[in-house]
Amino acid sequence: MTPVAAMVALSLAVPPPSYDPDSGVPPGGGYWAPGEAPVIKPPDGEEQILIGAIMLPLGTLATASASAMVWATMPDHCPRRLQSWGIDANADQCQGLYIYNVIRLSYGSAAVVTGAVFLAIGLKRRKELERWKKRRFHSLRPTGLSFMPSRRGASMGLTLRF
């Protein structure tokens, strides 16, 4: 058997895949008609909402506790304020605690901003998906006007989608 004949035999032995109407790919090789394009479902935004819902409260807690500790460990008042809480600290320890709490305050603020941005993006994507579902399934709209020349003449058609 020649290589060409073997390749033809192998290609005929494999049945064509069955058509899945939910795949978004048109039958017949995956080609769209002129002027027609696939309708792509927008992302739902659930991952961004989850990330934002976790980061925003954690960042708020970190910012609140760090700002309270920045106030308590300011080098001018640190030994007196910490002694009122029962903690003995000298000026060097207060300086280190102050720097540590300023860093905590900065990353807590960054977490608040990041969580708010992620939450806003997720909610916007969710709203776009809801608007897409309403438009896609509850409206009648023309999607294409086609003019098809053929041997017997020309035909004209209007395609409507629900």
pLDDT digits (tens, 9 = 90+) for 37-47: 667 788 899 99
Structure confidence at residue 82 (pLDDT) = 82
Assigned domain for 160 exists: no
Predicted pLDDT of residue 14: 58
Burial 83-100 (b: 16+ CB within 10 A, else e): eeeeeebeeeebeebbee
* pLDDT value for 125: 94
Amino acid at 126: R
Q: What pTM was estimated for this model as a whole?
A: 0.59
Does residue 125 belong to any structural domain of this protein? yes
Range of the domain at 105: 56-138
Length of the chain: 162
pLDDT digits (tens, 9 = 90+) for 115-135: 999 999 999 999 998 888 887
| 114 domain-assigned | yes
Residue 147 resides in a domain: no
In 3-state terms the chain splits into helix, strand, coil percentages (rounded to 5) of 60, 10, 30
**SS3 category, 114:** helix
pLDDT score at 1: 64
pLDDT-flagged residues of the chain (< 50):
138-139, 162
Q: What is the pLDDT of residue 146?
A: 55
Within-domain flag for 153: no
157 within domain boundaries: no
Residue 65 domain flag: yes
What pLDDT does residue 2 have? 77
Within a domain: 108 = yes
What is the number of domains present in the chain? 1
